[in-house]
């Protein structure tokens, strides 16, 4: 028995939105504002801009590592879920990865909505117990000689990983660099690939 053909998630979402508007349960202008906020003002692109600035401005990088909250706010990113930010720099000796063992505390202003795997109990427990194995399963092979440090986000503090800048990007400006940086690298479950 085959599953019936279902409309794409986009079409289903559009139909649901239309139904909510027709019944007076949702205001299209409010919905557009929320969508615009998450597309433009909150999300991984914000974090990527922070990373790119740190890669191109040594003074900013030092400030970011010393006082993540203030340095990130200086770029206009802050607010709920980003009140106290600590930035962890990837090095050849240490690989940082972020988890929230109790729930899904996540730095929304710089990373947007948390991915479903971040909230999954298997990720949360596995990353604490066997981080190298979980990272490998997610496609990231951390060399044996590189220590893995797992950081547990909480309501009091959230973490952003400052990934290593890939080789071959020396001639790129901050905008081009930001385009290389993905959310997973800023959580520590991936690396930034060279262009």
Residues with catalytic annotation? 100, 103-105
Neighbours of 103 (CB within 10 A): 11
Widest Cα–Cα separation across the chain = 62
- 151 strand-pairing partners: 98
Distance CA 91, CA 23 (A): 54
What's the rounded Cα separation, in Å, for the pair 91 and 141?
15
Q: Which residue has the tokens 């914000």?
A: 46
Express the helix, strand and coil content of the chain in percent, nearest 5 each: 45, 10, 40
């Amino acid at each position: 028995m085959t599953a019936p053909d279902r409309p794409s998630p986009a079409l289903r979402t559009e139909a649901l939105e239309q139904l909510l508007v027709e019944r007076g349960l949702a205001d299209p202008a409010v919905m557009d504002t929320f969508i615009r906020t998450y597309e433009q003002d909150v999300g991984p692109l914000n974090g990527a801009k922070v990373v790119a600035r740190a890669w191109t401005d040594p003074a900013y990088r030092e400030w970011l590592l010393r006082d993540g909250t203030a340095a990130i706010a200086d770029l206009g990113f802050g607010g709920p879920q980003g009140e106290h930010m600590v930035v962890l720099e990837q090095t050849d000796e240490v690989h940082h990865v972020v988890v929230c063992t109790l729930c899904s505390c996540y730095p929304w202003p710089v990373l947007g909505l948390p991915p479903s795997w971040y909230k999954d109990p298997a990720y949360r427990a596995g990353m604490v117990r066997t981080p190298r194995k979980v990272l490998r399963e997610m496609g990231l092979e951390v060399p044996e000689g590189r220590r893995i440090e797992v950081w547990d986000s909480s309501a009091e503090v959230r973490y952003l990983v400052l990934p290593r800048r890939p080789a071959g990007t020396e001639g790129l400006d901050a905008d081009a660099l930001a385009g290389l940086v993905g959310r997973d690298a800023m959580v520590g479950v991936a690396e930034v690939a060279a262009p």
